Structure 1
Amino acid sequence: MSETRGLQPKHQRLALVVLAVVVLIAAALIATWALRSQASYFYVPSEMVEERPGADRAVRLGGMVETGSMVTRPDGVTVDFVVGDGKARVPVRYSGILPDLFVEGSGVVAEGRLQTDGTFVADNLLAKHDENYVPRELEEMTAAQKKLVVEETTGT
């Protein structure tokens, strides 16, 4: 009688395949959990009014800064304004340095949280510009000078 020790090669391969599948499933679950905690959902004002996100949920609010709605508080750092989409309006409060492109009547994406009183408190503002945007440095240049700068920058 011969005594066999250990697993046969066929069983070793099966054990390795099962182990690999378990490791892949664990990695996928960990990645999903990490992404879920980092995900930031995007709302426009009408969606935010209809489907209020939880007060503790980090979200993004995108829309147009309504003309005449921007008010700077006495501290000089906090700004209140209204973001609208033509259907609904959401009041926003932001404390910090405003982006250069942030003006009334322009597009904005605000990252933050909706408070229970309906005010969106933004931690970060991303100002959007249209296709006619020209950087401040290029505003005073002639067309030939602009072309030269673009060629130098892109290397063409």
Structure 2
Amino acid sequence: MRIKALLALTAVAASLTACATADRYDAAGDVHDLLVAIRDNDRARFDAHVDRRALKGQIEARLMDEARRRGSSDALSALAALAAGPIADVASEALIRPETFRAAATYYGYTPDRPIPGRVAIASTLRPVDNGRVCAAKKDGPCLLTFTREGSTWRLTGFDPQAANLHLKR
């Protein structure tokens, strides 16, 4: 009986690992396309692999968190809440473009003077995270970029600016 239970658990673990590996490999193709778009400054290709609405929402949430963290008055908090949307609109237009993400690509070793690795190499740098998403991270480092499957395409849906600042200062 114990052997059957152990075999069943092993089969479940193997199938979950296979799903995570398949997601990482599948996402790697779109991450490769995004890296090429960043390298080539191809705005249309970049936009096809970026979820602007999700990234704008992340910027807006960060602005709100910063206002709360500073412990401002209720009136100032209300003003910050009103201004967060328009500020996030302007910030997202200014920041969500290939040139901005070039520093993150360089951190991962994708510099213009080197060829972008293939799908298998990129898949090895992706880490499965919650809700079927994957993130790009170096070895044991933090997740810098997060990708979510939207239909048949994996799109950039999250960016950790604190992790970027830690690594880009080195």
TM-score range, shorter chain: 0.3 to 0.5
Query: Of the two structures, which has the highest relative contact order with CA contacts closer than 8 Å and spacing of 6 or more?
Result: 2
- If the length of structure 1 is used for normalisation, what is the TM-score? 0.33
Greater strand content = 1
Greater helix content = 2
